[in-house]
Amino acid sequence: MAALSHHDRHSAVTEMPDDLRADVRLLGEILGQAIAEDGGPDLLADVERLRKAVIAARRRETTVDDVAALVAEWPLDRAVLIARAFTCYFHLANLAEEHYRIRILRQRDRDDVPVPESLPQAVRALRSDVGAAELDRLIGELEFRPVLTAHPTEARRRAVVTAIQRISGHLDLYNTPGRGAGEQQEAKRRLREEVDLLWRTAQLRSTKLDPLDEVRTAMAAFDETLFRAVPLIYRSLDGALEPGTGTRPPLARPYIRYGSWIGGDRDGNPNVTSKVTREALLIQNEHVLIALENAATRIGRTMTPAADRTPLSPALRAALSRAEGDFPDLVSEMATRSPSEPHRQWLLFVAGRIAATRRRDLDLAYRSPADLLTDLRLAQESLVAAGAVRQAYGELQHLIWQVETFGFHLAELEVRQHSQVHAAALAEIEAGGARSERTEEVLATIRSIAWIQERFGVTACSRYVVSFTRSADDILAVYALADHALGDRAPVLDVVPLFESGEDLDNSVRVLTGMIASEPVQKRLAANGRRVEVMLGYSDSAKELGPAAATMRLYDAQAALTKWAAENEIVLTLFHGRGGALGRGGGPANRAVLAQAPGSVNGRFKVTEQGEVIFARYGHMAIARRHIEQVTNAVLLASTSPVEQRTADSAAKFRELADQVATASERAYRGLTEAPGFPEWFALVSPLEEIGSLRLGSRPARRGLGAPKSLDDLRAIPWVFAWAQTRVNLPGWYGLGSGLAAVLDAGGQAELREAYKEWPLFASLLDNVEMSLAKTDRAIASRYLALGGRDDFFKQVMDEYDLTRRLVLEITGHSRLLESRRVLSRAVQLRDPYVDALSHLQLRALTALRTSGDLSDDERESLSTLLLLSVNGVAAGLQNTG
């Protein structure tokens, strides 16, 4: 499929690096061969016709109407195959770009100068700017808490993801320098085999995921990257802090703690039950114990220092003797295999105990991660005493870090439920009558938390997030329900308020003041060191207010909460509920951290990692390490007084201007989204209804049944997903143009440009809007918007797009979108024509489904298949969904 491998007349190809172009061409040619072998040369020729047509339309040699006419010629079954071809191409193009990113990361890491936004760069900057003592304090208090969530935004099937990962491995081998011709041929043969399998694999799920499927899917990221990446990140930090890492006690402490909502988030998802929550933790436990057992076994097998050169310490000798008395069969087996290698015996014995922990062999099992750490440190101290410091602080230290980070639970499972569910349950209980099934389930959930804590410890599951927190009573309801569920045996709970709407963000300080005055919260504060966690919802605030006003409202909430925490001697952690898409608070994570309100980070950053973002950031070891280092770099820098002061000065200087932008922006945004008939129009112009059939996740797309009567009925995820499919990306930019125009009309151009250069928050807002605009296609968007039969809405959206695009370029000083972000610009330009192809196929299906009233069942099914496959492909092409 050389035709799909590159488009030599497209402007992006001149910017494409040779290595990337070679991989795209190779994978495209292999895909083309697979298509021709399976569907015949005519199918490949039709794919090529569409490819050339969309490129010609981009060059304005033809029109989008000409492309639509071509797409209309094909029978539906042929259109489905063509949509599949372009979808597979995107999977391969994304893979080629990922490999290019990894090559660039490795090249940049070869110099003595630290890589920008890395841990070594942060340490060097902090040592220079704030001194060694402040650096030590920041490192000592550092926390990064990524929380994996199962919001339905990963459009790819797990079978497709694993096929892509296998192709990735073979592409690595193919590109490895120094391989012989035979090895090269075999790698290419395996590439052909796996790409052929990808082509033949169904792109759409035939069954809907259940919550435990989602748990198992997320475990792939842990198994393949996270478990191995974490100690390498700590090693990078340790090496930056002081030379000689691996030959001395580590200075880096384990600062990463993973969390998960997968199997714990029941807000709007009746499929997540108390039983599911228990099972989710058991699945996590199984995966982490297997990983720890394998690591201990591997290290034990290679720990072969002879006893005469590296003798046991008295403490370890005594421990080994006790083990021999308690578990003679296991220890004697180790001694028989390695009679003169006592450290090896001990570590293999440790591996055997981890295996027993997994099997629930209570006599041999470890009771807690602390017991395992005691045994590992016995070995480490013995090796140090014998002078084998490299063995003590090398791979063995990695295993210690892994136990400290993941424990026996892998990630803290967090529970989330809506405040109204708690209020209804409490009202039923206090009324004294019959209890509904939902109320019993709320109580059963609290009992499940207690069961998890009894088996795995409090750190395995203690956070309880309350959606739509409106008052302190919403927090106290959880403690009251825990008392009803178990009385004195209630679990330890850290109840986390989630503020989502603009009004709730404004009232957050009042709610928290009432919360900490209550008896159950005061008891918890006394026990946990006065720690409070507050979650801020980016998705719903952006859906309600628009991107500009939501950005400012969230910033104000951060500033107010930071001030409140200082006044009340609270150790505050802000939990950022950000999505992957720009309309849900997405965007580069490190820039987002640096744009936070002064003092709000303070060495701690907690954030959701949602849907497709999990595999985009954690699907490959090098990219996972880079992402975590970038975030950590930003957390450290944002927590220093010089950066906080610069941010505070910029905020004070440009605050009035930002308020003017936000006010006018919100007015324009609400003027559209709250207009009569807008929800119905939105449902007509987008594949909103059909997205529910895509079986993306276990959670329903909306809070009620039927077409949305207001946007309140619709979750933020499908709202953003559907707009991305229409190529409008409205949630990411709408209203900002009107906001900027209000300031420009008052003569504020110079001040806006100054704010863009000096204030990280304003720069981040404009840069994210610019990215969203770059992924918008006006010509194709117009075809979608025309389906709704409302010329007024059509004109309103297009006028605001034109205004926003023009003014963003004017303020940033760019001549074209993404002018200063060459890599991202190239990626967008590379994909645009092929996304166009899928959009035209989707438009054909959507138009027929919306306007043809006499479709047969077979026609409707074929059109739905085409539409859903194109939805899947556009998501792969745009690389974000919701």
| Mode of pairing for the β-strands spanning 571-577 and 494-499 | unpaired
Please calculate the CA angle 424-429-432 and round it to the nearest 5 degrees.
130
Distance, in Å, from the CA atom of 669 to the CA atom of 739, rounded to the nearest integer, reads: 10
Tokens 């933020």 belong to which residue? 716
Please calculate the CA angle 267-216-300 and round it to the nearest 5 degrees.
130
Assess contact for 289 and 354: CB atoms under 8 A. Answer: yes
Distance, in Å, from the CA atom of 400 to the CA atom of 775, rounded to the nearest integer, reads: 44
> Residue 850: its pLDDT value, please?
86
Question: Which is more confident, 301 or 688?
Answer: 301
Average pLDDT over residues 288-315: 97
Distance, in Å, from the CA atom of 375 to the CA atom of 392, rounded to the nearest integer, reads: 13
pLDDT digits (tens, 9 = 90+) for 616-629: 888 889 999 999 99
| Mode of pairing for the β-strands spanning 604-610 and 531-537 | unpaired
Tokens 């809007």 belong to which residue? 769
Distance, in Å, from the CA atom of 346 to the CA atom of 335, rounded to the nearest integer, reads: 9
Distance, in Å, from the CA atom of 222 to the CA atom of 402, rounded to the nearest integer, reads: 12
Distance, in Å, from the CA atom of 151 to the CA atom of 581, rounded to the nearest integer, reads: 12
Indicate the pLDDT class of residue 5, thresholds 50, 70 and 90: very low
| Mode of pairing for the β-strands spanning 412-413 and 415-418 | unpaired
Q: Which stretch of DSSP H or E encloses residue 531?
A: strand 531-537
The sign of the torsion formed by the CA atoms of 774, 546, 666, 752 equals negative
- Does the pLDDT value for residue 584 go beyond 70? no
| Nearest CA among 582, 574, 566 for reference residue 601 | 574
Q: Which stretch of DSSP H or E encloses residue 77?
A: helix 76-108
What percentage of residues in the chain have a pLDDT greater than 70? 94
Please calculate the CA angle 430-435-436 and round it to the nearest 5 degrees.
130
Distances (CA, A) of 869 to 156, 744, 797, 873: 11, 44, 27, 6
Assess contact for 773 and 804: CB atoms under 8 A. Answer: yes
> Residue 881: its pLDDT value, please?
52
Kindly report the number of other CB atoms within 10 A of residue 389's CB atom: 17
Indicate the pLDDT class of residue 337, thresholds 50, 70 and 90: confident
- Show the tokens assigned to 452: 């998890």
Indicate the pLDDT class of residue 876, thresholds 50, 70 and 90: confident
Distance, in Å, from the CA atom of 384 to the CA atom of 394, rounded to the nearest integer, reads: 11
Helix (H, G, I), strand (E, B) or coil at 249: coil
- Among 63-72, 211-220, 438-447, 588-597, the range scoring the smallest mean pLDDT is 588-597
Q: Which domains does the chain have, with CATH numbers?
A: 413-620 (3.20.20), 648-878 (no CATH)
- Please enumerate in sequence order all residues whose Cβ is within 8 A of that of 68, keeping only pairs 6 or more positions apart, or say none: 783, 840, 843, 844
| Nearest CA among 2, 63, 36, 54 for reference residue 831 | 54
Three-state SS for 130-172 is CCHHHHHHHHHHCEEEEEEECCCCCCCCHHHHHHHHHHHHHHH
> Residue 113: its pLDDT value, please?
83
What totals of helices (H) and strands (E) does the chain contain, helices first? Answer: 40, 9
- Show the tokens assigned to 855: 């479709």
> Residue 12: its pLDDT value, please?
40
- Among 8-12, 496-500, 642-646, the range scoring the smallest mean pLDDT is 8-12
- Does the pLDDT value for residue 58 go beyond 50? yes
> Residue 837: its pLDDT value, please?
96
pLDDT digits (tens, 9 = 90+) for 700-727: 555 543 445 677 777 777 898 899 999 9
| Nearest CA among 866, 877, 879 for reference residue 79 | 866
Question: Which is more confident, 716 or 74?
Answer: 74
> Residue 880: its pLDDT value, please?
60
- Among 2-6, 604-608, 667-671, the range scoring the smallest mean pLDDT is 2-6
Assess contact for 665 and 548: CB atoms under 8 A. Answer: yes
> Residue 14: its pLDDT value, please?
42
> Residue 699: its pLDDT value, please?
61
Please calculate the CA angle 30-834-171 and round it to the nearest 5 degrees.
30
- Does the pLDDT value for residue 488 go beyond 90? yes
Phi and psi, residue 575, nearest 5°: -105, 115
Q: Which stretch of DSSP H or E encloses residue 574?
A: strand 571-577
Tokens 């997903």 belong to which residue? 721
Q: Which stretch of DSSP H or E encloses residue 623?
A: helix 621-638
- Does the pLDDT value for residue 10 go beyond 60? no
Distances (CA, A) of 200 to 51, 160, 207, 873: 21, 10, 18, 15
pLDDT digits (tens, 9 = 90+) for 523-576: 999 999 999 999 999 988 999 999 999 999 999 999 999 999 999 999 999 999
Average pLDDT over residues 221-250: 96
- Please enumerate in sequence order all residues whose Cβ is within 8 A of that of 40, keeping only pairs 6 or more positions apart, or say none: none
Assess contact for 411 and 287: CB atoms under 8 A. Answer: no
Count the alpha carbons within 13 Å of 807 in the hemisphere toward its beta carbon: 26
Please calculate the CA angle 358-364-365 and round it to the nearest 5 degrees.
35
- Does the pLDDT value for residue 585 go beyond 60? no
Distance, in Å, from the CA atom of 428 to the CA atom of 439, rounded to the nearest integer, reads: 8
- Among 250-259, 389-398, 585-594, 673-682, the range scoring the smallest mean pLDDT is 585-594
Indicate the pLDDT class of residue 239, thresholds 50, 70 and 90: very high
Average pLDDT over residues 355-380: 97
Catalytic site positions: 151, 543
Q: Average per-residue pLDDT in the chain? A: 92
- Does the pLDDT value for residue 240 go beyond 70? yes
Distance, in Å, from the CA atom of 273 to the CA atom of 444, rounded to the nearest integer, reads: 8
- Does the pLDDT value for residue 371 go beyond 90? yes
> Residue 160: its pLDDT value, please?
86
Distances (CA, A) of 771 to 246, 257, 582, 764, 765: 42, 31, 8, 11, 10
Count the alpha carbons within 13 Å of 495 in the hemisphere toward its beta carbon: 32
> Residue 352: its pLDDT value, please?
96
Distance, in Å, from the CA atom of 498 to the CA atom of 684, rounded to the nearest integer, reads: 32
Kindly report the number of other CB atoms within 10 A of residue 683's CB atom: 18
| Nearest CA among 373, 370, 312, 309 for reference residue 345 | 312
pLDDT digits (tens, 9 = 90+) for 635-686: 999 999 999 999 999 999 999 999 999 999 999 999 999 999 999 999 999 9
Average pLDDT over residues 439-450: 98
- Show the tokens assigned to 650: 């910029």
| Nearest CA among 400, 368, 164 for reference residue 285 | 368
Where helices occur in 327-471 by DSSP H, the ranges are 328-337, 342-359, 369-385, 389-392, 395-406, 419-431, 437-456
pLDDT digits (tens, 9 = 90+) for 117-134: 999 999 999 999 999 999
Helix (H, G, I), strand (E, B) or coil at 363: coil
Assess contact for 258 and 148: CB atoms under 8 A. Answer: yes
Average pLDDT over residues 758-777: 95
Average pLDDT over residues 453-461: 97
- Does the pLDDT value for residue 845 go beyond 60? yes
494 Rama class: left (phi>0) / alpha (psi -120 to 50) / beta: beta
DSSP string, 640-698: SHHHHHHHHHHHHHHHHHHHHHHHHHHHHHHHHHTSTTHHHHHHHHSSHHHHTTS---S
- Does the pLDDT value for residue 691 go beyond 90? no
- Please enumerate in sequence order all residues whose Cβ is within 8 A of that of 398, keeping only pairs 6 or more positions apart, or say none: 231, 232, 235, 295
Distance, in Å, from the CA atom of 433 to the CA atom of 429, rounded to the nearest integer, reads: 7
Q: How far is CA 786 from the centre of its chain?
A: 34
- Does the pLDDT value for residue 50 go beyond 50? yes
The DSSP symbol for 609 reads: E
**What global pTM score does this model have?**
0.92
Distance, in Å, from the CA atom of 167 to the CA atom of 95, rounded to the nearest integer, reads: 8
Helix orientation angle between 181-200 and 158-175, rounded to the nearest 10 degrees? 160
Question: Which is more confident, 306 or 707?
Answer: 306
Indicate the pLDDT class of residue 6, thresholds 50, 70 and 90: very low
Phi and psi, residue 367, nearest 5°: -80, -25
- Does the pLDDT value for residue 336 go beyond 90? no
Q: How far apart, in Å, do the first and last CA atoms of the chain sit?
A: 31
- Does the pLDDT value for residue 69 go beyond 80? yes
Distance, in Å, from the CA atom of 731 to the CA atom of 543, rounded to the nearest integer, reads: 7
> Residue 824: its pLDDT value, please?
82
Distance, in Å, from the CA atom of 98 to the CA atom of 660, rounded to the nearest integer, reads: 40
Average pLDDT over residues 431-445: 96
> Residue 579: its pLDDT value, please?
65
> Residue 583: its pLDDT value, please?
46
Three-state SS for 401-431 is HHHHHHCCCCCEECEEEEHHHHHHHHHHHHH
Distance, in Å, from the CA atom of 134 to the CA atom of 138, rounded to the nearest integer, reads: 6
